[in-house]
Structure 1
């Protein structure tokens, strides 16, 4: 079967590897045939060559792990040892080994769910990040009538903007150094700020501070501090961006004096959240069509990641299809 692996920073190699077998599928797992995948911002540090903390990412110059680092996947079930999935089902969710960029993938069944078959596979990959966003918003106070700011208007940040607006946010502010004016309205953004988060905070009027700030950038330490500085007294910050460092400096004086709440966490109840994502898309049928802007064949993984790694105003979500 075909598989991609990183052999150096910014460099994939397509290789032929042995097919996976039924005997390799453990209890609670399924064997999938690749149908489509999504490129996530959290995949990019590995593409750039950063050493991750996932099992198997132990190459000297790059990960050198088959299928790494894709985790957003759509696939057809070939073998199932999970009670909710049967051979022939088409499912969406997590490639639990972060090895979804190959022709066959073994994954935990708890992180997969069926979906509306009328969705094109390239669009269906958006259900996985949407599930993550919906779970995060469940942890927040009711957004109805509130001013919500989202730092980072990439593929995750725009989903947060859309979900916040659908939840009744009075105003959604999107902050990004990339010019998102052409796509912002489709995701419910009321105020588009083209700036880095430190410049946004520096020019923020004290009477215009958002009650909820969502950090959707990650992979560096500065933006969390900017979120804490920006949020209104009594407000809430959700840190969604993936941390690359163990320790992040924030002002505890600001946290204390302004009675702030800081929330973070990974997505749990994955099957339930994938089902909720499907319902959300049914209620907002235009969302995924606006979301997935670029589609590549599986043999074009290099080009897909190269596009994902550079800022582009017209790019939102990139899908890779069989």
Structure 2
């Protein structure tokens, strides 16, 4: 079967692998046939060859893991050792080993859920990041009537903006150096600020500080500090971006003097929130078609990741299909 993998920084290789043996599935696992995958911002360090935390990441110049680094997938169940997943059904969710770029893959059934069969796989795969955003918003105070600022208006940040507005936020500010004005209204953004977070902060009206700031950039330390400095009295900061560093310096003086709350965390209850994402998408049928802007054949994965690595106003979510 076909498989793509990163073998050097910014370099994919296609290889052939034997198909997995369905009789070797551990309890709770499922064997999937590849139907679609999507590129996440958290995949980009792997594409660049950065040393990751996966135990198998031992390659000399890249992770060199079969199917790496994709984790957002849609698949057809070929075999199942999980009681909730039946052969022949289509599911969306996590490739639990970050090895989704394969014709067939084994994954943890607790990170997968069925979805609206009316959705094409290239749209359904976007339910996975939507589930992550919905779970994060569950951890926040009620958003109705609040001013919510989202630092980063990439594929995750725009979902946060949309969900915040759908949850009743009175005002949504989106901050990004990439010009997102063309899609701001579509994703519920009232104020599309084209700026880096430090420049936004420098020009922020002290009397109009947001109640909640969501950091949706990650991969560096600065933006979390800007979020903490920007949020208003007794405000909440949610750190969603993936940390590339173990330790982040923050101002405890700002945290203390402004009585702030800082929240972070990975997505739990995955089957439940994937089902919630499916429900949300049914209620907002315009969302996923606007969100998925580029579709590539899987053999064009090199070009797809190169596009994902470039800040581009018209690019939101990139999907790979067979």
Instruction: Please tell me the TM-score bracket, short chain as reference.
Output: over 0.9
- Distance (whole Å) between structure 2 residues aligned to residue 319 and residue 120 of structure 1: 12
- Distance (whole Å) between structure 1 residues aligned to residue 146 and residue 253 of structure 2: 24
- Distance (whole Å) between structure 1 residues aligned to residue 289 and residue 101 of structure 2: 23
* TM-score, scaled relative to structure 1: 0.99
Partner residue of 1:13? 13
| Structure 2: gaps of 5 or more residues | none
How far apart are 1:18 and its partner, in Å? 1.0
Number of equivalences: 322
- Distance (whole Å) between structure 2 residues aligned to residue 91 and residue 141 of structure 1: 31
How far apart are 1:234 and its partner, in Å? 0.4
- Distance (whole Å) between structure 1 residues aligned to residue 56 and residue 302 of structure 2: 21
Partner residue of 1:98? 98
Offset from partner CA, 1:91-129 (integer Å, 9 cap, x none): 000000000011111000000000001111111111000
- Distance (whole Å) between structure 2 residues aligned to residue 56 and residue 17 of structure 1: 17
How far apart are 1:238 and its partner, in Å? 0.1
Partner residue of 1:140? 140
Partner residue of 1:275? 275
| Structure 1: gaps of 5 or more residues | none
How do residues 17-96 of structure 1 correspond to structure 2 at under 5 angstroms? 17-96=17-96
How do residues 1-322 of structure 1 correspond to structure 2 at under 5 angstroms? 1-322=1-322
Offset from partner CA, 1:135-170 (integer Å, 9 cap, x none): 000000000000000000000000000000000000
Offset from partner CA, 1:42-62 (integer Å, 9 cap, x none): 000010110000131110111
Offset from partner CA, 1:246-292 (integer Å, 9 cap, x none): 10001000000000000000000000000000010011000000000
- Distance (whole Å) between structure 1 residues aligned to residue 109 and residue 57 of structure 2: 22
> Which runs of at least 4 in structure 1 moved beyond 4 Å after TM superposition?
none
How far apart are 1:23 and its partner, in Å? 2.7
- Distance (whole Å) between structure 2 residues aligned to residue 291 and residue 135 of structure 1: 19
- Distance (whole Å) between structure 2 residues aligned to residue 57 and residue 185 of structure 1: 41
Q: CA RMSD in A?
A: 0.5
- Distance (whole Å) between structure 2 residues aligned to residue 24 and residue 260 of structure 1: 49
Other structure's SS at 1:295 match? strand
Offset from partner CA, 1:216-237 (integer Å, 9 cap, x none): 0000000000000000010000
- Distance (whole Å) between structure 2 residues aligned to residue 25 and residue 186 of structure 1: 43
- Distance (whole Å) between structure 2 residues aligned to residue 88 and residue 271 of structure 1: 18
- Distance (whole Å) between structure 2 residues aligned to residue 207 and residue 119 of structure 1: 44
* TM-score, scaled relative to structure 2: 0.99
- Distance (whole Å) between structure 1 residues aligned to residue 125 and residue 186 of structure 2: 19
- Between stretches 283-292 and 23-32, larger displacement belongs to 23-32
Offset from partner CA, 1:184-209 (integer Å, 9 cap, x none): 11100000000000000011000110
Other structure's SS at 2:38 match? strand
